[in-house]
Amino acid sequence: MKILVFGANGTIGRHAATELRRHHAEFCDGALEVIEAHRTSADFHVDANDDSSVKALFERVGEVDAVVSAIGNARWESADKATLDTYLSTIQGKLISQLRIALEARECVRPNGSITLTSGIVGNFAFPGGSASSVVNQALDAFVRTASPELPTLRINSVSATVIEESAAAYGATFPGFAPASGAVIGRAFVRSVFGVETGQTITAWG
């Protein structure tokens, strides 16, 4: 089995990669290859904001069973101060970059394989400065829900995590009363998407 993980060295992505490996080792036969791609990777460099870079990576990697995206750059600014650029840069950095991955992945994912994108709890509740992220997370969840019926040979889901435990100290004030989730809980949401049968779903890891 071959899984291509975008953002595999990130806070979320490394837990996704760890839990995917753990699940495969415990429950699956055969070999597993996890290809860890990210912007500063020496082995599998990719810039998800650049069409030619994403195309080149998929051409190099060839057919895969699953594509996981755990990337996304968002700007946090209070809606009373935010400019159009706040929204445009978040749309480019988290939404368009992942749509680019998903559209390119359609050609490389084997029949019955999967694509998993990353949205987040900020799409569902109001957090200070979170409106740009919210717009994008809801768009990602809407994309997988409405694109899945037209992608019958593969499954496509989003993972929506709450704040991860290791970031809770830094971001706790932004998420008052929201329980952080462990890296393992968030990683297992990606396992559910890759190894399960669901499609068109937003898989929540909200603690």
Ligand X SMILES: NC(=O)c1ccc[n+]([C@@H]2O[C@H](COP(=O)([O-])OP(=O)(O)OC[C@H]3O[C@@H](n4cnc5c(N)ncnc54)[C@H](OP(=O)(O)O)[C@@H]3O)[C@@H](O)[C@H]2O)c1
Interface contacts to ligand X, rule CB under 6 A: 6-7, 9-13, 38-40, 46-49, 70-74, 94, 97, 118, 120, 161, 163-164, 167
Q: Please state the closest distance from residue 185 (CB atom) to ligand X, in A.
A: 12
Token pair, residue 95, equals 């939404």
- Nearer CB in complex with ligand X: 31/178: 178
Q: Which amino acid is at 159?
A: V
Residue 71 has φ and ψ, to the nearest 5°, of -110, 180
- Nearer CB in complex with ligand X: 26/43: 43
- Nearer CB in complex with ligand X: 31/173: 173
CA–CA distance, 34 with 174 (Å, rounded to integer): 33
Token pair, residue 36, equals 């860890």
- Nearer CB in complex with ligand X: 44/149: 44
Q: ∠ CA(35), CA(22), CA(94), 5° rounding?
A: 50
- Nearer CB in complex with ligand X: 149/167: 167
Q: Please state the closest distance from residue 101 (CB atom) to ligand X, in A.
A: 9
Give the neighbor-by-neighbor strand order of the sheet with 109-118: 33-37, 2-6, 64-69, 109-118, 154-161, 202-205
Q: Please state the closest distance from residue 153 (CB atom) to ligand X, in A.
A: 26
CA–CA distance, 36 with 11 (Å, rounded to integer): 13
Q: Please state the closest distance from residue 102 (CB atom) to ligand X, in A.
A: 14
Other Cβ atoms closer than 10 A to 177: 4
Q: Please state the closest distance from residue 156 (CB atom) to ligand X, in A.
A: 16
